[in-house]
Structure 1
Amino acid sequence: MNGSDYYIPALATGFALALKLPALARNWPDPLLRSVCALLALGTAVFFFSAPPTIARVNRLTGVPNVSGPLVYVLLSAFSASCVVLMVNWRGGPAEVTRRTSRRWVAGYGAVSLALIVLFALGDAPVERLRDLDTYYATTPYMREMIVLYLTGLTIAGVAMAWLCLRWSVQVGGLLRIGLVSIAVGYLFNLSYAAAKFTAVFARWAGRDDLDWLSTHTAPLLASVAAVFTAFGFCLPLAFQGLRHRLTIWSTYRQLGPLWHELRGLSPRGDQPQRLSWWPSAELLVIQRESDIHDGMLCLYPYFDDRVRSRAYAAAVSAGSGPDQAHAVADAVMVTTAVRARAADPEGTALDGPVRPHPPLPAHDVPRNLVRMSHALRHSPVVAAARTAGSRPEG
């Protein structure tokens, strides 16, 4: 009766939710992140309010015997809907279709939750039952319908989730497939939970109580196993996806380093860094580094020479570079040549000279082009040769 088998998972899911809340505050429009947080919040609530000590406490505080029954059933229904909505948003697709499908599931289980409350209000359940409410009131009018309704809702969600996961798993591979199969297995255990409950309830309808153990003892065990498989299935791909995203962002930040150092100090604010928050995100650091690079390029614009770039492009192609890489090498040569030309022109005479057309910087796929240019600055022999030769744009 101490409820530790319920409170420990509640603490675990609550801790996971606390870790996600800062990201939710920063990216509230993200439907996938909202779905994950809703799932964690409802999972925490289900475990907490299903614990027998909490059930007894809620019943005493409200003064209504067994009011915890419909409360837990409503939370389970909301949790079922949140799982399906998370899966729909996780899989993706046209935004309008995803929103419409999510709204339908939420509306459907919202109607189920309302019906559960109404049926409990109409029923008569004066004797408090902490563990066997389903079988004790299986033949009581309105309570009977409430029990069947919540089990039916769980069954529908279980079938939908298992089908969605298995159908999607054959189209993907790697950790995502492992996660989807794990979720499907978890929901098969959930279906076994509902089957055990239904069997005990149907036995009560037939006037037998010798199968109550299926509802009281077997079903909670099946639910615990289902929670383990489902949590593992959701957490593994999402955690790996988040880690991969973070690694990609930090890799971009690191790869932009050579180009950023080449242009550092050319922007109007000089070498003084932009003031950021005390703990800036990786995305913010990448944006700031890209902004510094673009500011430096704007200062170099009068010193860019398309003839330098054309010669460097021809040299890169001759050295065996593909078109995209040759363009990056040519841009890198033009930038580093312009940096030296600007350093040799402290009076800024190029700014007062005749206006002539300057080569445009790449406008498409900007982050990738900047990374290619940065890589060329450090590794291209064409850029190294241009630096050694001391190329200068003509004035």
Structure 2
Amino acid sequence: MNGQDYYIPAIAMAVALAFKLPALRHNWRDPLLRSVVALLTLAAAVFAFAAPPTIEAVNRWTGVPNVSAPLVYSLITGFSASCLVLVVNWRGGPPEKTRRTSRRWILGYSVVSVLLVVLFALGDAPVERLRDLDTYYANTPYIREMIALYLVAHNVAALVMVAMCWRWSLQVRGWLRVGLMIIVAGYMFNLSYDATKMTAVVARWTGHDLDYLSTFAAPPLASAGALVSAIGFVLPLVCQKLSDNWEIWTTYRRLGWLWQEVQISAPSNAPAVHMAWWSAAELRVIQRESDIHDGFLHLGPYFDRQLRDAAYERARAEGADEETARAVADAAMVAAAVQARAADPEGRVIEAGEENAVEGPRDLLRISHALRHSPVVQAVRQRAALSGSGLSGSGLS
């Protein structure tokens, strides 16, 4: 692999990190978000500092041959720990247990990182090796132990990740399960990376030469493993966000029928609320619900409780369940009130101070659906329109 093969994944990770940083600034106490940011940061750093041009530059800037080795190995170790911590926080559970487990992984891999630096300092690696340090120094005291330590630590993390994600995937469904299976696939690449590296190093220990496995086969496996695993981590989060947004926009659209129905009740001098096109879907839903409740307040004098009760009995008689019947009854009352308000442009009923509003919460989505689809509501609306008033009777006789 050349420098470009390393820098492209690093840039991809950095772009993903840039999208996450604003969320971290607003919600930095979220352990899951912090874990995602840590993973993306370390993944980008691993690829950036493992590129041969960067290795050469770091060695030259510091004046220490091969000083990039413990740096890159420590970054790989930190990345392994961040993956384990992310899965621990992602899976959830009792907060104290989650924090305790996360701290153990962080502490354990921090010790490994310190040992990597100490072993490099104790060893002697005077000849700069940009691509084959693992095999070139496989038999050098202390450097040999440093190489073995980072490979074992990485392998342990990969095995634990595969086991954790596989067990978890058997307990969940949907996008989360897909993401976990992708992570497992990514870590199979990582296990293959460890196997090729270890095979080449052990071959050196036994007097054989399989350096091509470490120099040419292992790096593409590491790159593929990191990218596939990153997709597995990100996919469920992105898809869940898209699903949530879809549900919110669906709610906004479904409330539209009720919102349009009660617009007639808005005072002519009421200021119109215009939301910018970039306004969040949640804000749009809140505004629409507020408009509907305001409409109910203005329609209150025209609400007919007897009509509502009659519509409820009619819906129940036609086989509707309790919640649906209540929504049909409320929708029928709203439809009749709208017709009555239209027939009273001077607002005489309002001036009379009558108030017939029904107290209690209402299921706005069900009411909106009933306004459009319920035959009971359609019958009430037609009868009210013909009579010119929604207050002249039940409209269901």
Moved more, 325-334 or 197-206: 197-206
Shift of 1:289: 2.0
Amino acid paired to 2:375: P
Matches within 5 A, 1:284-323: 284-323=283-322
Matched, 1:380 2:370: no
Matched residue type, 1:144: R
Asked if 2 retains the 8 angstrom alpha-carbon contact of 1:264 and 1:270, the reply is: no
CA distance in 2, matches of 1:73, 1:15: 23
* Distance verdict in 2 for CA 1:338–1:117, change over 3 Å: farther
> SS in structure 1 opposite 2:245?
helix
Gaps of 5+ in 2: none
- In the TM superposition, residue 376 of structure 1 has moved relative to its aligned partner by 1.2
Superposed counterparts of 1:140-219, under 5 Å:
140-173=140-173, 175-206=175-206, 208=207, 210-219=209-218
Match of 2:279 in 1: 280
* Shift in CA distance, 210/377, structure 1 to aligned 2, threshold 3 Å: same
Partner in structure 1 of residue 7 of structure 2: 7
- Structure 1 residues 339-358: Cα deviation after superposition (integer angstroms, max 9, x where no partner): 444553745754764777x5
| 8 Å Cα contact 1:305-1:394 kept in structure 2 | no
CA distance in 2, matches of 1:348, 1:144: 94
Q: Deviation of residue 380 (structure 1)?
A: 1.4
Shift of 1:325: 1.3
Structure 2 counterpart of 1:168, one-letter code: W
Task: Kindly indicate whether the alpha-carbon contact (under 8 Å) linking 1:135 and 1:201 is maintained by their aligned counterparts in 2.
Answer: yes
- Tell me which residue corresponds to 1:223: 222
Aligned residue type for 1:148: A
* Contact 1:329 1:376 survives alignment (8 Å): yes
- Which position in structure 2 is the counterpart of 1:366? none
The 1-side partners of 2:340 and 2:107 are apart by 66
* Partner Cα distance (2:355, 2:254) in 1: 34
The answer to whether 1:392 aligns with 2:386 is no
- Relative to the length of structure 1, the TM-score reads 0.84
Q: Which position in structure 1 is the counterpart of 2:56?
A: 56
Query: What are the within-5 Å matches in structure 2 for residues 63-74 of structure 1?
Result: 63-74=63-74
How far apart in 1 are the matches of 2:165 and 2:349? 66
**Number of residue equivalences:** 387
List structure 1 runs of 4+ shifted beyond 6 angstroms.
none
Distance 1:165 1:2, change over 3 A: closer
1:158, distance to aligned residue in structure 2 (A): 0.5
Name the structure 1 match of 2:127.
127
Whole-angstrom distance in 1 between the partners of 2:32 and 2:264: 40
Once the two structures are TM-superposed, the CA of residue 33 in structure 1 deviates from its matched residue by 4.2
Q: Secondary structure at the match of 1:134?
A: helix
TM-score of the superposed pair, with normalisation by structure 2: 0.84
User: Which of 360, 364, 380 is matched with 1:370 structurally?
Assistant: 364
Task: Output the amino acid matched with 2:336.
Answer: T
Q: Tell me if structure 2 keeps the 8 A contact 1:6–1:50.
A: yes
